[in-house]
Amino acid sequence: MKGAPMATISVTTQQLSVTLTTLEKVSGLHRNIQVPGSAVTGIRVVNNPFDVVSGLRSPGLAVPGRMRVGTWRRPGQRMFVVARRGIPALHVILRGTRLTDLVVSTPEAYARAEEIRATLGLNDADIFTETDVTFTADQIELAGTVTTPAGVSKGLALILPGSGEVDRNADHRRIPLGVSRDLAHALARAGIRTLRYDKRGVGASGGSYLATGLHDNAADARAALAWLRTLEPEAPTFVVGHSEGGIIAEIIAADHPELAGVVLLAAPGTTGEQTLRWQAAQIARTLPAFPKAVMAMFRIDIVRQQQKAIAKIRATTADTMRMQGRRINARWQRELLAFDPADVLSRIASPVLAITGGKDLQVNPDDLAIIESTVTGAVETRRPENLTHLLREDPNAPTLSAYRKLVRKPTDVAVLAEVADWLATRGATQITA
């Protein structure tokens, strides 16, 4: 079936066309499809097209796990599908036509999506809108951005960034990571409305970054989630966290069993201290030859140095301290060291998608097994072989020195598609139910 002739999709500035094979026409009881180019409001790639197909098949053919051809309907949506197992699909979002969506499996889906966007002159503004907002947490005003899809809403998602002095886009002044922004835009293309925000003391948010602890960040996330729900009180709601944001997502999910789903990107399954010790060992192991030789010459042991730093942090009681000549947020460090995911993972009843790359140097990818065995709800795990902690792929041996080059690359499109598909599927299912 996978090697059988397939529908083809073509585009001009005036029209997008889907040409079906004879088998597909018979199976789906449908002729070739032509829609005006102006009717296309968005296009994205879905790795598993079956995940985005929901509703009642009418008419059409579904060979379980192998093929779907035909029309799927649910309130407000009429989707034509011609999808094959193992072949990514283009998900085309339409307006002003009898069909609201097209899902068409095609080789080189990512290249075709870019070609169609370029030909039709699609801009992000046609797919979603962004609005600056403020909300209050612990009497501190926090600033963020709500990203609203142009099409039918499939739910709400709170996006939580990694550690450090990062803004709503997950950008640090030295490392413009952009993960939160890229997630928001990918989710908007999938019909998910999102909120992302500046941390305390960063960007347009009030408060002090250095005086903020891990549990303060969790309190801010709770306030953000409550505020987001006021936009659509009945909508399925998700939390998506990367790195430290994954820790916060674990904490939030433990107390919110009503969440439609939780996405943990490079989130730990062991204590903060165990994670930091593992990090130090990986960094020491992956150092280039020259620095490694210099450290050996001067008998500098990274792991031992870190143990001394941990002891020094534990001995403090103030919000901040000086270490190696600079001021750090000591309270956040103490709370991270003491944090044990086991205390919250076992209380998560919502579905979980956990993704950690095989080349992550900051979170042990083996922690995926801990998450899978500890969470009460259904868990799906992914371990992309070349994915790094920055959510960028690196075919080379992982090193921290590669980060500066990796941040010039976009967030991995496969990860973005995986998260968007997972949320959209669960959001559509809950809305239909």
Number of domains in the chain: 2
Give the percent of the chain with pLDDT over 70.
Answer: 93
Q: What is the pLDDT of residue 23?
A: 87
On whether both 267 and 397 belong to a single domain, the answer is yes
**Quick one: tokens of 348?**
């998560």
Res 1 pLDDT > 60: no
Q: Residues 271-303: pLDDT tens digits? A: 999 999 999 888 777 666 645 555 555 555 666
Report the half-sphere exposure of 422 (CA within 13 A, side-chain side): 26
The phi, psi pair for 61, rounded to 5°, reads: -130, 135
Res 154 pLDDT > 70: yes
Flag whether 103 is in a domain: yes
CATH of the domain at 396: 3.40.50.1820
Query: DSSP string of 308-372?
Result: HHHHHHHT--SSEEEETTEEEEHHHHHHHHH--THHHHTT--S-EEEE--TT-SSS-TTHHHHHH
What is the maximum span of the chain, computed from C-alpha positions, in angstroms? 75
Flag whether 304 is in a domain: no
Element (H, E) at 239: strand 237-242
Q: What is the pLDDT of residue 86?
A: 85
Res 25 pLDDT > 80: yes
- Per the prediction, the chain carries an average pLDDT of 88
pTM for this entry: 0.76
On whether both 32 and 179 belong to a single domain, the answer is no
On whether both 140 and 104 belong to a single domain, the answer is no
Q: What angle do CA 366, 370, 373 make, to 5 degrees?
A: 135
Domain that holds residue 114: 8-122
How far is it, in rounded angstroms, from Cα 375 to Cα 345? 5
DSSP state of 257: T
On whether both 90 and 173 belong to a single domain, the answer is no
Res 59 pLDDT > 70: yes
Flag whether 290 is in a domain: no
On whether both 246 and 384 belong to a single domain, the answer is yes
pLDDT class of 334 with cuts at 50, 70, 90: very high
Angle between helices 302-314 and 330-338 (to 10 degrees): 110
Q: What is the pLDDT of residue 193?
A: 96
On whether both 90 and 151 belong to a single domain, the answer is no
Give the percent of the chain with pLDDT over 90.
Answer: 53
On whether both 232 and 344 belong to a single domain, the answer is yes
How far is it, in rounded angstroms, from Cα 282 to Cα 303? 10
On whether both 167 and 245 belong to a single domain, the answer is yes
How far is it, in rounded angstroms, from Cα 229 to Cα 225? 6
Q: What is the pLDDT of residue 140?
A: 97
Indicate the range of 40-54, 174-188, 205-219, 226-240 predicted with least confidence: 40-54
On whether both 30 and 145 belong to a single domain, the answer is no
On whether both 89 and 216 belong to a single domain, the answer is no
Q: What is the pLDDT of residue 263?
A: 98
Q: What is the pLDDT of residue 160?
A: 98
On whether both 141 and 263 belong to a single domain, the answer is yes
Q: Where are the extended beta strands (E) located within 101-235?
A: 101-105, 128-137, 140-149, 156-160, 193-197
The mean per-residue pLDDT over the stretch 307-321 comes to: 87
The mean per-residue pLDDT over the stretch 141-155 comes to: 89
On whether both 203 and 348 belong to a single domain, the answer is yes
Q: What is the pLDDT of residue 135?
A: 97
pLDDT class of 153 with cuts at 50, 70, 90: confident
Distance of CA 68 to the CA centre of its chain: 27
The mean per-residue pLDDT over the stretch 131-138 comes to: 94
